[in-house]
Structure 1
Amino acid sequence: MLAVTADDRRAPGLVAGGPVAVLANPAAGSGRHRGLLPRLLDGLAAAGRPVRLLTATTPGEAEMACHAALADGAGALVAIGGDGTVHRALQAVAGTGVPFAPVPAGTGNDFAVDTGFPSDPLAAVAVIADALRAGRSSLVDLARMTGADGAERWYGAVLAAGFDAICNERANRMRWPRGPRRYDLAILVELARLRRRRYTMLLDGVPHELDAVLVAVGNCPTYGGGMRICPDADPSDGLLDVVVGGRINRRTLIRIKPRIYQGTHVRHPLVRSYRARTVELSAEGITTYADGERSLDLPVTITAVPGALRLLR
């Protein structure tokens, strides 16, 4: 999945601070930016800091490599890839104060775009390099999840805990077809099986019992490569946005789904929005997906953590 070579790059005029650790996923976005990696690394090195490409072949190894890099004194962490690569890096850097930056090079680059980085990888690297040279960074919020067993995960964009999570779970179990068609087939299968589930939510301690087919908890507005599921979410307001699709049948869901790209689905009378600092969410048979990555089973507690991430921008 991720870069399998280690590399240190240095530029003249080295400034103070530890090296810039880089987690890269050359397979992100079906590998369409694979050939850009040397130019991206050179662009980062132009900031005058040593650049160290981390070695990892699985998502678990990626997280361990990021943790190890920070323990070894990395002065910043950069993730080159999509939201999945960013998600792995966040598990190491969240709450540490070590500056971080995403370089959007995946199929879904929602966190990078929602936090103000250019969608072009080379342009994003130029912004990051300038921030490194200037010693400039800014704080944004992250969401922290805690499972029933005490397990913790961080995410930057959106947590899916309804129909979209169920589709992801089915697609991950399928061996055929490969690529995006597998997810399309999973959607068709789950549409045929669509049913409402009973959710219990506590929003800042206030209970809500509801039947729903879709629940999303956003720190940022978008997921799935630009779908504005939580259109009013702001990663600097210290709050989480919760969007619930209630008693929706198959036909209505098919009609509403395209409106998510513009964020106008929240105007539908069967869609409700909430805002809270802490969301406690439970339902039977749901495995959540955070930043598009398989995460914790419900029940979970999600907390907005203001300023948990220092971005190089």
Structure 2
Amino acid sequence: MTDTDTPLDGPTAAPLGEGAVVVLVNPTAAHGRHRGLPEQVAQRLAATGRAVRTIETGTAAQARTVCEQAVAEGAAAIVTVGGDGTVHGVLQAVAGSATALGPVPGGTGNDFALGVGLPADTAQALETIAVALTRGRVRRLDLARMTRPDGVVRWFGTVLAAGFDAIVNDRANRMRLPRGPRRYDIAVLIELARLRPRHYTVHLDGVRHEFDAVLLALGNTAYYGGGMRICPSAEPDDGLLDLVVAGPVRRTTLVRIKPQVYRGTHVSHPQVRSYRARTVEIAAEGITGYADGERTEPLPVTVTAVPGALRLLG
């Protein structure tokens, strides 16, 4: 990655490299419901005339190693068959590189694909990616660069949750039983009973703000949590991040607001505030952030929108 945050390659549309295409498969995505999808993806992409190599990975560490090697070898694109967790891992390798990303939505949550304007239907998304591959063109989009106080960098494409939703995820991840979606539902009930505002110190492009809040989300794109439009005004090509904050509301108010998030109408509630900035510093006690649905870093973190950091097929 360059030291500047200017667009890395000029215009929104850019040419695609001449290298091979790597198809990265997460066999556990969507609990294995799309077992025949990787073969379909490989066949359709091979029909574009590109050399295609399919790799199945079992862990996030394996996926990152494979993707870093593919980028080093000059791969034109990495096409993922999985959900947001798979995409998140690949972003760590392709951010700022000449290798494009083609996300075929095949996971439980596909918020990244939704947020960058790809079809929600798997077959339609694959066709969109294949056409872009045939034409050899990509879109340049922003990514969010998250930096810890020790300088370690992590990238995300959708939303950083750093409030109630992050706390619920942490609770669910610590629970061994029950398995499946019920674990998350129980975690929600436990944390609702324990709900209390947290004190945040936030710097927006250097301007300090302090407030108490129960929910805080920072979006490069609009969606998280499987289609919730938490940051409805966020766009992945405007060079800005959108911060949405719900103040110190009661449990009943939070429960009423949450369904509105799917429509993006929650931002009209008097206790919900929205901000926009290029660089956002967030500090609070006892909260670990979740970006692209993945556990990331304990606060504080600094997040910057980096224009043109991602080449996207589609």
TM-score range, shorter chain: over 0.9
Question: Which region of structure 1 is more displaced relative to structure 2, 254-263 or 50-59?
Answer: 50-59
User: Any idea what the Cα deviations from partners look like across 1:180-224, whole Å, max 9, x if unmatched?
Assistant: 111111111100111111000000000000000110000000101
Please name the residue that 2:11 is paired with: none
> Residue 40 of structure 1 contacts residue 121 of structure 1 at CA under 8 Å; is this kept in 2?
no
Q: Which residue of 2 aligns with 1:210?
A: 211
Partner of 1:6: none
Residues 145, 16 of structure 1: CA spacing in aligned structure 2 closer, same or farther, 3 A cutoff?
A: closer
For 2:188, the aligned partner's letter is: I
Letter in 2 for 1:167: V
Corresponding position of 1:98? 99
Partner Cα separation in structure 2 for residue 148 and residue 110 of structure 1: 28
Structure 2 CA distance for partners of 1:35 and 1:55, relative to 1, 3 Å: closer
- The separation in 1 between residues aligned to 2:49 and 2:102, in whole angstroms, is 16
Does the aligned pair in 1 maintain the 2:102–2:313 contact within 8 Å? yes
For 1:101 and 1:147, the matched residues in 2 are separated by: 28
- Paired letter, 1:123: Q
C-alpha separation in 2, matches of 1:95 and 1:54: 22
> What are the Cα deviations for residues 282-301 of structure 1, in whole angstroms up to 9, with x where unaligned?
00111000000000110000
**Structure 1 residue 55: Cα displacement:** 3.9
Structure 1 unpaired stretches of 5+:
1-14
Aligned counterparts of 2:23 and 2:297: Cα–Cα separation in 1: 26
Query: Separation in 2 of the partners of 1:157 and 1:280?
Result: 17
Give 1:278-293 correspondences, 5 Å limit. 278-293=279-294
Deviation for aligned residue 1:113: 1.4
Partner residue of 1:46? 47
1:129 offset after TM fit, Å?
Answer: 1.3
Amino acid at match of 1:203: L
Between 1 and 2, higher relative CO (CA 8 Å, sep ≥ 6) is seen in 2
Conserved? CA contact 2:17–2:99, under 8 Å: no
List aligned pairs for 1:243-262, cutoff 5 A. Answer: 243-262=244-263
For 1:173 and 1:261, the matched residues in 2 are separated by 27
Deviation at 1:16, TM superposition (A): 7.7
Residue of structure 2 in register with 1:179 after alignment: 180
Query: Residues 27 and 34 of structure 1 are in contact (CA less than 8 Å); yes or no, is this contact kept in structure 2?
Result: no
Q: 2:212 is matched by which residue type in structure 1? A: D
Matched residue SS, 2:221: coil
List per-residue Cα deviations over 1:254-295 (Å, max 9, x = no partner): 111100000111111111000000000000111000000000
What SS class does the counterpart of residue 54 from structure 1 fall into?
strand
2:274 is equivalent to residue 276 of structure 1? no
Give 1:117's aligned residue: 118
The size of the alignment, in residue pairs, is 299
CA contact (8 A) 2:84 2:107 kept: yes
Q: Normalising by structure 1, what TM-score? A: 0.93
Identity level (%): 63
1:30 is matched with which residue?
31
Q: Is the partner of 2:117 in helix, strand or coil?
A: coil
Once residues 220 and 26 of structure 1 are traced to their aligned partners in structure 2, the CA distance between those partners, rounded to angstroms, is 26
SS at match of 2:137: coil
Whole-angstrom distance in 2 between the partners of 1:149 and 1:189: 33
Query: Equivalent residue for 2:153?
Result: 152
- Counterpart of 2:311 in structure 1 is 310
SS in 2 for 1:62: helix
Partner of 2:59: 58
Q: Is the CA contact 1:157–1:290 (under 8 Å) kept in the aligned structure 2?
A: yes
One-letter code aligned to 2:33:
R
Is the Cα contact below 8 Å between 1:201 and 1:280 reproduced in 2?
Answer: yes
Greater shift after overlay, 45-54 or 259-268? Answer: 45-54
Under a length normalisation based on structure 2, what TM-score does the superposition of the two structures give?
0.93
Residue aligning to 2:3: none
SS across alignment from 1:153: strand
Structure 1: distance between partners of 2:265 and 2:132: 35
